A and B are shown apart, each in its own frame.
Chain A
Amino acid sequence: MAARVRALETILTRKGLIDPEAIDVIVDTYETKVGPRNGARVVARAWSDPEFADWLKRDATAAIASLGYSGRQGEHMQAVFNTAETHNLVVCTLCSCYPWSVLGLPPVWYKAPPYRSRAVIDPRGVLQEFGLTLAANKKIRVWDSTAELRYLVVPQRPADTDGWSEDKLAELVTRDSMIGTALAREAA
């Protein structure tokens, strides 16, 4: 596959159809600039600021853009909030739809058949494979991203974090907790 991709890039470059330096910028963007740190900032703000949380609930695209995160695969955002009663889980059974603007590029497992096939029929089993066992009476809401809306899970704020700064709170927000395959880290 390496040779095949190299040949493709060569052909397109020699025909003047693509700019290889544009590829370098794209890769750098998703390796160093756009990643789950963005989403963690959004969640930490929502935990700290009830007004922002309310805005995030009503108009996630605008609320998230106010922190500087927007663009490709984040054009139409919806934030879904975990509660004591309900746990949210996001999947794209049809392809690999994922909120790039806040989480960056999706991990391999998110795009692969085991997760995509089972998240909608056996989410509890899937969560156990991530080391997360939910109480049997905890409701699970699975969001299948079949259109252009992209979902961000807002995990519950961990206990014993009163008075924490947003920076410190953001450290507890993992990528998986914003997909729904984990909870936020506990306060150390």
Chain B
Amino acid sequence: MNGPHDLGGQMGFGPVAPEKDEPYFHAEWEKRALGVTLTAGAMGAWNIDESRHARESLHPADYYASSYYEIWIKALETLLKRHNFVTENDFKAGDAVDPAATPKRVLRAENVPATLAKGGPCDRPVEGPARFSLGQRVRTKNFHPTGHTRLPRYARGKEGVIDAVRDGFVFPDSNAPGQGENPQRVYTVVFSGGELWGEGADSALEVSIDAWESYLEPA
């Protein structure tokens, strides 16, 4: 979707503000927000693509007014309601009022190290040869799906070069709405600054994205 999250090339947000010796957390609640997000995700009711889509589906005004942990929590509330773990009644009461769906699993403290160490690999075997080869010129599709996609707007309809042929990976566009992993090969595609930004672009700039095969056509 052409949502507020798709920020590449947007203007008006002002300078970057690096913080010297930045702490990992700026408030106690941020620690709990990280932990609640990870432990709730570990229930296995939704995948990372659905959670990303929940975040980018926040109203743009809300998205831009929120810190990243705030975005996480707002999206988490949506996911918990959608999957019947928490109801509006629960939120109103600030307590467990209604019964909840049964999770696939509950992440216990003793299992956290192993779970974090394992991570969630998204590579999947794909059959058949790669459609594109190293050095080949390709053009990204110009599309505007209303659902989740990982092809950013600034890189749509642009001509670039295959810089790396990667493994097969879960396809986010179908995985986010629960339509299956449908793995596809991923390619690193590199574009010149001029191709992306036109007049006045930095001539010594190259930008690459990682693109699923169906985002690409031969140039």
Please report A residues at the B interface, Cβ cutoff 8 Å: 1-2, 4-12, 14-19, 21-27, 29-31, 34-35, 70-76, 78, 93-96, 101, 104-105, 107-109, 111-124, 126, 129-130, 136-149, 176, 181
Is the Cβ of B121 less than 8 Å from the Cβ of A6? no
Q: Give A108 to B16 CA distance when docked, in angstroms.
A: 10
- Name the A residues within 8 Å of B13 (CB-CB): 112-114, 117-118
Q: Give A181 to B19 CA distance when docked, in angstroms.
A: 13
Is the Cβ of A123 less than 8 Å from the Cβ of B16? no
- Name the A residues within 8 Å of B155 (CB-CB): 144
Q: Give A1 to B205 CA distance when docked, in angstroms.
A: 40
Is the Cβ of B24 less than 8 Å from the Cβ of A113? no
- Interface size, B (range): 35 or more
New contact pairs (12) apart from A17-B100, A144-B155, CB-CB < 8 Å: A1-B29, A5-B32, A5-B36, A12-B36, A22-B109, A71-B117, A76-B122, A107-B22, A109-B18, A111-B68, A144-B208, A147-B150
Is the Cβ of B35 less than 8 Å from the Cβ of A27? yes
Q: Give A124 to B119 CA distance when docked, in angstroms.
A: 34
Nearest B residue (CB) for A175? B22
B44-71 vs A, CB cutoff 8 Å, 1 = contact: the mask equals 0000000010011000000010011110
- Name the A residues within 8 Å of B69 (CB-CB): 1
7 A-B contacts (beta carbon < 8 Å): A22-B112, A24-B35, A25-B109, A26-B35, A109-B18, A109-B19, A144-B207
Is the Cβ of B118 less than 8 Å from the Cβ of A71? yes
Is the Cβ of B106 less than 8 Å from the Cβ of A18? yes
- Name the A residues within 8 Å of B29 (CB-CB): 1-2, 5-6
Please report B residues at the A interface, Cβ cutoff 8 Å: 5-11, 13-19, 22, 24-29, 31-36, 38-40, 43, 52, 55-56, 64, 67-70, 73, 76-77, 80, 85-86, 90-91, 94-96, 100, 103, 106-109, 111-113, 116-123, 150-152, 154-155, 164, 166-167, 169-170, 186, 188, 190, 196-197, 202, 204-212
Is the Cβ of A120 less than 8 Å from the Cβ of B90? no
Distance (Å) between the CB of A43 and the closest chain B CB? 20
Distance (Å) between the CB of B171 and the closest chain A CB? 10
**Contacts A17-B103, A93-B8: A113 and B117 contacting too (C-beta < 8 A)?**
no
Is the Cβ of B36 less than 8 Å from the Cβ of A75? no
Distance (Å) between the CB of B214 and the closest chain A CB? 13
Is the Cβ of B22 less than 8 Å from the Cβ of A108? yes
Q: Give A98 to B95 CA distance when docked, in angstroms.
A: 34
**Contacts A15-B100, A105-B24: A93 and B119 contacting too (C-beta < 8 A)?**
no
Is the Cβ of B16 less than 8 Å from the Cβ of A126? yes
Q: Give A1 to B85 CA distance when docked, in angstroms.
A: 20
**Contacts A9-B32, A17-B106, A108-B26: A142 and B207 contacting too (C-beta < 8 A)?**
yes
